[in-house]
Amino acid sequence: MTSYYPPITYRVPPSEDGWLLKTILQKRMDVSRKLLSRLKMTDLGITLNGERVYISVKVSSGDQVQIRMEEETSEDILPQAIPFEILYEDGHLLVVNKAAGIIVHPTNGHYTETLANGVVHYWAEKGERVRFRPVHRLDQETSGVLVIAKNPYSHQHISEQMIAGTVDKRYAAFVHGVPAVPSGDIDGPIDRDPLEPHRRIVTPDGYPSLTRYEVKEVYPRAASRVELKLESGRTHQIRVHMSSIGCPLIGDGMYRHPLYARGQAAGGLVPLGGGEREAGLVLPGGESKEAELSPVEAAQLAEIAELDASIPRQALHAVRLSFRHPVTHADLVFEAPLPPDMALLQAKLRETAARE
Protein backbone atom coordinates (compact mmCIF):
# COMPACT_ATOMS: atom_id res chain seq x y z
CA MET A 1 0.00 0.00 0.00
CA THR A 2 1.32 3.44 -0.96
CA SER A 3 2.19 5.72 1.96
CA TYR A 4 1.88 9.48 1.56
CA TYR A 5 3.07 12.59 3.35
CA PRO A 6 0.28 14.75 4.85
CA PRO A 7 -1.66 16.55 2.08
CA ILE A 8 -1.13 20.12 0.97
CA THR A 9 -4.55 21.76 0.67
CA TYR A 10 -5.97 24.66 -1.34
CA ARG A 11 -9.52 25.99 -0.98
CA VAL A 12 -10.93 27.48 -4.21
CA PRO A 13 -12.12 31.09 -3.69
CA PRO A 14 -15.21 32.53 -5.49
CA SER A 15 -12.98 34.45 -7.92
CA GLU A 16 -11.64 31.14 -9.30
CA ASP A 17 -14.98 29.37 -9.77
CA GLY A 18 -14.97 27.49 -13.07
CA TRP A 19 -11.20 27.35 -13.43
CA LEU A 20 -9.56 24.16 -14.68
CA LEU A 21 -8.04 22.03 -11.93
CA LYS A 22 -4.78 22.05 -13.89
CA THR A 23 -4.72 25.85 -13.71
CA ILE A 24 -5.28 25.78 -9.94
CA LEU A 25 -2.43 23.30 -9.50
CA GLN A 26 0.02 25.24 -11.65
CA LYS A 27 -0.96 28.87 -11.01
CA ARG A 28 -2.23 28.82 -7.43
CA MET A 29 -0.45 25.86 -5.83
CA ASP A 30 2.67 26.36 -7.97
CA VAL A 31 3.12 22.67 -8.72
CA SER A 32 5.91 22.19 -11.25
CA ARG A 33 5.39 20.15 -14.41
CA LYS A 34 7.77 17.50 -13.14
CA LEU A 35 5.98 17.12 -9.82
CA LEU A 36 2.56 17.26 -11.52
CA SER A 37 3.53 14.29 -13.67
CA ARG A 38 4.55 12.33 -10.57
CA LEU A 39 1.35 13.19 -8.70
CA LYS A 40 -0.83 12.00 -11.60
CA MET A 41 0.76 8.53 -11.38
CA THR A 42 -0.47 7.82 -7.82
CA ASP A 43 -3.99 7.12 -6.55
CA LEU A 44 -4.18 10.00 -4.07
CA GLY A 45 -1.63 12.31 -5.70
CA ILE A 46 -4.31 14.78 -6.78
CA THR A 47 -7.81 14.88 -5.31
CA LEU A 48 -10.79 17.21 -5.54
CA ASN A 49 -13.03 17.08 -2.48
CA GLY A 50 -11.41 13.76 -1.59
CA GLU A 51 -11.95 12.15 -5.00
CA ARG A 52 -9.38 11.32 -7.64
CA VAL A 53 -10.19 13.27 -10.82
CA TYR A 54 -8.65 14.32 -14.12
CA ILE A 55 -6.85 17.65 -14.00
CA SER A 56 -8.99 18.80 -16.96
CA VAL A 57 -12.11 19.11 -14.77
CA LYS A 58 -13.44 22.49 -13.68
CA VAL A 59 -13.51 23.48 -10.03
CA SER A 60 -16.19 25.35 -8.09
CA SER A 61 -15.98 27.94 -5.35
CA GLY A 62 -15.31 26.25 -1.99
CA ASP A 63 -13.82 23.08 -3.52
CA GLN A 64 -10.91 21.52 -1.68
CA VAL A 65 -7.90 20.65 -3.83
CA GLN A 66 -5.25 18.44 -2.27
CA ILE A 67 -1.93 17.02 -3.42
CA ARG A 68 -0.16 14.13 -1.70
CA MET A 69 3.41 13.03 -2.32
CA GLU A 70 4.63 9.50 -1.79
CA GLU A 71 6.91 8.93 1.16
CA GLU A 72 10.55 8.40 0.20
CA THR A 73 13.80 7.44 1.89
CA SER A 74 17.48 7.89 1.04
CA GLU A 75 18.29 4.22 0.66
CA ASP A 76 21.80 4.98 -0.55
CA ILE A 77 22.74 6.91 2.63
CA LEU A 78 23.89 4.91 5.66
CA PRO A 79 22.19 6.08 8.89
CA GLN A 80 24.73 7.12 11.53
CA ALA A 81 24.27 8.65 14.97
CA ILE A 82 26.03 11.94 14.18
CA PRO A 83 24.94 14.87 16.35
CA PHE A 84 23.77 18.11 14.74
CA GLU A 85 21.93 21.22 15.92
CA ILE A 86 18.32 21.71 14.82
CA LEU A 87 17.07 25.29 14.48
CA TYR A 88 13.61 24.43 13.14
CA GLU A 89 11.59 21.49 11.89
CA ASP A 90 8.07 20.82 10.66
CA GLY A 91 6.51 18.41 8.20
CA HIS A 92 8.07 20.21 5.25
CA LEU A 93 11.46 21.57 6.37
CA LEU A 94 14.46 20.89 8.55
CA VAL A 95 16.80 23.81 9.28
CA VAL A 96 20.11 23.05 10.97
CA ASN A 97 23.20 24.87 12.21
CA LYS A 98 25.93 22.91 10.41
CA ALA A 99 29.19 22.49 12.27
CA ALA A 100 32.50 23.22 10.57
CA GLY A 101 34.37 20.16 9.32
CA ILE A 102 31.35 18.11 8.31
CA ILE A 103 30.43 17.45 4.66
CA VAL A 104 26.78 18.00 3.76
CA HIS A 105 26.25 15.02 1.44
CA PRO A 106 28.18 11.80 0.75
CA THR A 107 30.63 12.09 -2.15
CA ASN A 108 32.96 9.74 -3.96
CA GLY A 109 35.36 8.35 -1.39
CA HIS A 110 33.46 9.94 1.49
CA TYR A 111 30.28 7.94 2.08
CA THR A 112 29.98 8.27 5.86
CA GLU A 113 30.37 10.83 8.65
CA THR A 114 28.37 13.44 6.71
CA LEU A 115 25.44 15.59 7.78
CA ALA A 116 23.22 13.45 5.54
CA ASN A 117 24.17 10.31 7.48
CA GLY A 118 23.23 12.00 10.74
CA VAL A 119 19.94 13.44 9.46
CA VAL A 120 18.83 10.12 7.91
CA HIS A 121 19.54 8.39 11.24
CA TYR A 122 17.61 11.07 13.14
CA TRP A 123 14.54 10.66 10.91
CA ALA A 124 14.72 6.85 11.14
CA GLU A 125 14.76 7.07 14.95
CA LYS A 126 11.61 9.22 14.77
CA GLY A 127 9.96 6.73 12.44
CA GLU A 128 9.81 9.19 9.55
CA ARG A 129 10.33 8.13 5.93
CA VAL A 130 12.03 11.15 4.39
CA ARG A 131 14.58 11.58 1.64
CA PHE A 132 17.55 13.88 2.34
CA ARG A 133 17.16 16.94 0.08
CA PRO A 134 19.48 19.86 0.92
CA VAL A 135 18.24 22.97 -0.85
CA HIS A 136 21.74 24.47 -0.90
CA ARG A 137 25.23 23.53 0.24
CA LEU A 138 27.93 24.84 2.55
CA ASP A 139 31.61 24.02 2.11
CA GLN A 140 32.93 21.37 4.47
CA GLU A 141 34.76 23.93 6.62
CA THR A 142 31.98 26.55 6.51
CA SER A 143 29.54 26.50 9.41
CA GLY A 144 26.05 27.90 9.82
CA VAL A 145 22.41 27.83 8.73
CA LEU A 146 21.42 25.18 6.19
CA VAL A 147 17.90 24.27 5.02
CA ILE A 148 16.83 20.75 4.04
CA ALA A 149 13.54 20.06 2.27
CA LYS A 150 11.50 17.06 3.43
CA ASN A 151 9.56 16.60 0.19
CA PRO A 152 9.84 17.51 -3.52
CA TYR A 153 7.30 20.34 -3.27
CA SER A 154 9.26 22.17 -0.56
CA HIS A 155 12.54 21.65 -2.39
CA GLN A 156 11.06 23.06 -5.59
CA HIS A 157 9.63 26.15 -3.93
CA ILE A 158 12.70 27.18 -1.95
CA SER A 159 14.94 26.48 -4.95
CA GLU A 160 12.75 28.78 -7.05
CA GLN A 161 13.03 31.48 -4.38
CA MET A 162 16.81 31.18 -4.56
CA ILE A 163 16.77 31.48 -8.34
CA ALA A 164 14.48 34.53 -8.05
CA GLY A 165 16.86 36.12 -5.52
CA THR A 166 14.28 36.36 -2.73
CA VAL A 167 16.22 34.16 -0.29
CA ASP A 168 18.42 36.31 1.95
CA LYS A 169 21.69 34.51 2.76
CA ARG A 170 24.06 36.37 5.10
CA TYR A 171 27.55 35.29 6.15
CA ALA A 172 30.02 36.51 8.74
CA ALA A 173 33.71 36.35 7.88
CA PHE A 174 37.03 37.50 9.30
CA VAL A 175 39.44 38.58 6.60
CA HIS A 176 42.98 39.78 6.17
CA GLY A 177 43.09 43.45 5.31
CA VAL A 178 40.26 45.96 5.03
CA PRO A 179 38.24 46.47 1.84
CA ALA A 180 38.97 49.78 0.11
CA VAL A 181 35.41 51.01 0.73
CA PRO A 182 33.25 50.14 3.79
CA SER A 183 30.56 48.46 1.70
CA GLY A 184 30.14 47.47 -1.88
CA ASP A 185 29.60 44.79 -4.50
CA ILE A 186 32.07 42.27 -5.85
CA ASP A 187 30.83 41.49 -9.33
CA GLY A 188 33.27 38.97 -10.77
CA PRO A 189 32.50 35.92 -12.96
CA ILE A 190 33.74 32.65 -11.42
CA ASP A 191 34.87 29.41 -13.02
CA ARG A 192 37.30 26.55 -12.41
CA ASP A 193 41.01 27.26 -12.41
CA PRO A 194 42.28 25.44 -15.53
CA LEU A 195 45.57 24.66 -13.75
CA GLU A 196 43.92 23.44 -10.53
CA PRO A 197 40.33 22.30 -11.25
CA HIS A 198 39.45 21.97 -7.53
CA ARG A 199 40.01 25.73 -7.17
CA ARG A 200 37.89 28.57 -8.53
CA ILE A 201 39.04 31.88 -9.99
CA VAL A 202 37.56 35.16 -11.16
CA THR A 203 37.71 35.11 -14.95
CA PRO A 204 35.89 37.07 -17.71
CA ASP A 205 34.62 33.79 -19.18
CA GLY A 206 33.19 32.55 -15.87
CA TYR A 207 29.64 32.35 -14.55
CA PRO A 208 28.05 35.62 -13.35
CA SER A 209 28.64 35.97 -9.61
CA LEU A 210 27.75 38.78 -7.23
CA THR A 211 28.65 39.20 -3.56
CA ARG A 212 27.62 42.22 -1.48
CA TYR A 213 29.72 43.05 1.58
CA GLU A 214 29.78 45.46 4.50
CA VAL A 215 32.67 45.99 6.92
CA LYS A 216 31.43 45.56 10.49
CA GLU A 217 34.62 45.88 12.51
CA VAL A 218 38.23 46.83 11.78
CA TYR A 219 41.22 45.56 13.81
CA PRO A 220 44.89 46.60 14.00
CA ARG A 221 47.41 44.66 11.95
CA ALA A 222 45.12 44.82 8.91
CA ALA A 223 42.19 42.52 9.66
CA SER A 224 38.44 43.08 9.62
CA ARG A 225 35.07 41.41 10.16
CA VAL A 226 32.68 41.64 7.24
CA GLU A 227 29.09 40.66 6.62
CA LEU A 228 28.38 39.24 3.20
CA LYS A 229 25.21 38.66 1.21
CA LEU A 230 25.19 36.21 -1.68
CA GLU A 231 23.25 37.15 -4.80
CA SER A 232 24.45 33.99 -6.57
CA GLY A 233 25.62 30.60 -5.35
CA ARG A 234 28.90 29.63 -6.97
CA THR A 235 31.28 27.14 -5.39
CA HIS A 236 33.73 28.93 -3.03
CA GLN A 237 32.14 32.24 -4.08
CA ILE A 238 32.84 34.26 -0.93
CA ARG A 239 36.35 32.88 -0.57
CA VAL A 240 37.21 33.62 -4.20
CA HIS A 241 35.63 37.07 -4.25
CA MET A 242 37.24 38.27 -1.03
CA SER A 243 40.60 36.97 -2.18
CA SER A 244 40.13 38.79 -5.50
CA ILE A 245 39.96 42.16 -3.72
CA GLY A 246 43.03 41.42 -1.59
CA CYS A 247 41.14 40.39 1.56
CA PRO A 248 41.31 36.58 1.78
CA LEU A 249 39.58 34.83 4.65
CA ILE A 250 41.65 34.21 7.75
CA GLY A 251 42.55 30.53 8.04
CA ASP A 252 41.79 29.70 4.39
CA GLY A 253 44.44 27.25 3.25
CA MET A 254 43.29 27.26 -0.39
CA TYR A 255 42.82 30.97 -1.14
CA ARG A 256 45.69 32.40 0.82
CA HIS A 257 47.09 35.89 1.18
CA PRO A 258 49.29 36.82 -1.84
CA LEU A 259 52.33 37.28 0.39
CA TYR A 260 52.44 33.52 0.89
CA ALA A 261 53.02 33.06 -2.83
CA ARG A 262 56.10 35.25 -2.65
CA GLY A 263 57.40 33.17 0.18
CA GLN A 264 60.35 33.65 2.44
CA ALA A 265 63.98 33.08 1.70
CA ALA A 266 65.14 29.72 0.38
CA GLY A 267 63.52 26.80 2.19
CA GLY A 268 61.41 29.06 4.38
CA LEU A 269 58.32 27.57 6.00
CA VAL A 270 55.30 29.53 7.14
CA PRO A 271 52.95 28.12 9.80
CA LEU A 272 49.32 27.86 8.70
CA GLY A 273 46.40 26.21 10.43
CA GLY A 274 48.53 24.49 13.06
CA GLY A 275 51.18 23.08 10.70
CA GLU A 276 54.06 24.25 8.54
CA ARG A 277 53.70 24.57 4.80
CA GLU A 278 56.14 25.70 2.16
CA ALA A 279 55.67 29.27 1.02
CA GLY A 280 57.51 29.32 -2.31
CA LEU A 281 56.10 30.93 -5.42
CA VAL A 282 54.40 28.27 -7.60
CA LEU A 283 54.73 28.85 -11.33
CA PRO A 284 52.87 27.19 -14.25
CA GLY A 285 54.32 23.74 -14.70
CA GLY A 286 54.85 23.23 -10.98
CA GLU A 287 58.26 24.92 -10.71
CA SER A 288 58.97 26.99 -7.60
CA LYS A 289 60.92 30.19 -7.35
CA GLU A 290 62.34 31.82 -4.27
CA ALA A 291 61.16 35.38 -3.69
CA GLU A 292 62.82 37.42 -0.96
CA LEU A 293 60.57 39.63 1.13
CA SER A 294 61.47 43.05 2.45
CA PRO A 295 61.66 43.38 6.25
CA VAL A 296 58.27 45.11 6.27
CA GLU A 297 56.72 42.35 4.14
CA ALA A 298 58.32 39.64 6.26
CA ALA A 299 56.83 41.18 9.42
CA GLN A 300 53.45 41.47 7.72
CA LEU A 301 53.57 37.84 6.61
CA ALA A 302 54.45 36.72 10.13
CA GLU A 303 51.33 38.48 11.46
CA ILE A 304 49.21 36.99 8.68
CA ALA A 305 50.55 33.50 9.39
CA GLU A 306 49.91 33.93 13.12
CA LEU A 307 46.27 34.81 12.47
CA ASP A 308 45.85 31.92 10.02
CA ALA A 309 47.26 29.51 12.59
CA SER A 310 44.74 30.69 15.19
CA ILE A 311 41.79 28.97 13.49
CA PRO A 312 41.87 25.53 11.79
CA ARG A 313 39.59 26.48 8.86
CA GLN A 314 38.42 29.49 6.88
CA ALA A 315 36.69 31.95 9.18
CA LEU A 316 33.32 31.83 7.43
CA HIS A 317 29.90 31.27 8.99
CA ALA A 318 26.40 31.32 7.47
CA VAL A 319 24.91 33.53 10.14
CA ARG A 320 21.43 34.21 8.75
CA LEU A 321 18.96 32.74 6.24
CA SER A 322 15.47 34.00 5.45
CA PHE A 323 12.87 32.79 2.96
CA ARG A 324 9.13 32.19 2.60
CA HIS A 325 7.70 28.92 3.87
CA PRO A 326 6.68 26.85 0.82
CA VAL A 327 3.31 25.82 2.28
CA THR A 328 2.24 28.36 4.92
CA HIS A 329 3.88 31.27 3.05
CA ALA A 330 5.07 32.69 6.37
CA ASP A 331 8.30 34.70 6.27
CA LEU A 332 10.94 32.69 8.13
CA VAL A 333 14.23 33.99 9.53
CA PHE A 334 16.91 31.74 11.03
CA GLU A 335 20.10 32.87 12.74
CA ALA A 336 23.10 31.05 14.17
CA PRO A 337 25.61 32.82 16.46
CA LEU A 338 29.33 32.67 15.77
CA PRO A 339 30.69 29.19 16.57
CA PRO A 340 33.35 28.88 19.32
CA ASP A 341 36.39 28.97 17.02
CA MET A 342 35.28 32.17 15.29
CA ALA A 343 34.21 33.72 18.60
CA LEU A 344 37.71 33.03 19.95
CA LEU A 345 39.26 34.59 16.85
CA GLN A 346 37.10 37.67 17.31
CA ALA A 347 38.10 37.90 20.97
CA LYS A 348 41.78 37.65 20.00
CA LEU A 349 41.43 40.41 17.41
CA ARG A 350 39.60 42.64 19.86
CA GLU A 351 42.18 41.95 22.57
CA THR A 352 44.95 42.94 20.19
CA ALA A 353 43.04 46.10 19.29
CA ALA A 354 42.68 47.02 22.97
CA ARG A 355 46.44 46.72 23.53
CA GLU A 356 47.41 48.92 20.60
Reduced 3-state DSSP string for the chain: CCCECCCEEEECCHHHCCCEHHHHHHHHCCCCHHHHHHHHCCCCCEEECCEECCCCCECCCCCEEEECCECCCCCCCCCCCCCCEEEEECCCEEEEEECCCCCCCCECCECCCCHHHHHHHHHHHHCCCCCCEECCCCCCCCEEEEEEECCHHHHHHHHHHHHHCCCEEEEEEEEECCCCCCEEEEECCEEECCCCCCCEEECCCCECCEEEEEEEEEECCCEEEEEEEECCCCCCHHHHHHHHCCCCECCCCCCCCHHHHHCCCCCCEEEECCEEEECCEECCCCCEECCCCCHHHHHHHHHHHHHHCCCCCCCEEEEEEEEECCCCCCEEEEECCCCHHHHHHHHHHHHHHHHC
Burial of 34 (0-12, 13-18, 19+ CB in 10 A): exposed
Q: Are 291 and 265 in contact (CB under 8 A)?
A: no
Q: Which of 63, 139, 252, 341 is catalytic?
A: 139
Catalytic residue flag (residue 191): no
Catalytic residues: 139
